[in-house]
Amino acid sequence: VNCDDVESSLDLYVDRELEAAAAAEVRAHLGECPACRGRVAERETLGRLVRLAPYYSAPDRLRARVLAGGARTR
Ligand SMILES: [Zn+2]
């Protein structure tokens, strides 16, 4: 598994939708790749914010912060 593989399955990994074998490979890569670890942490923080703050009631400030953080719409 290389960084490209990890990046392409990052969303699924963070959402725990990756099959067990693939998730294990991603985890193994994360163990030795700080860059991908950072990407996962970023994605998890973002997901948490989105879940905690329903979009219809999210303060504009929060939304701005999320967008500023490089959020990509799915
Ligand atoms: Zn990597």
Nearest to 65 by CA among 37, 38, 44, 45: 45
pLDDT tens for 45-63 read 887 777 776 655 556 776 7
Measured from the Cβ of residue 24, the count of other Cβ atoms closer than 10 Å reads 12
Nearest to 36 by CA among 26, 48, 23: 26
How far from the centroid of its chain's Cα atoms is residue 68's Cα? 15
Ligand 1 centre to CA of 52 (Å) is: 28
The conformation of residue 18, written as its DSSP 8-state character, comes to S
pLDDT tens for 16-53 read 999 999 999 999 999 999 999 999 999 888 877 777 76
Ligand 1 centre to CA of 25 (Å) is: 11
Ligand 1 centre to CA of 4 (Å) is: 7
pTM (two decimals): 0.63
pLDDT, position 62: 67
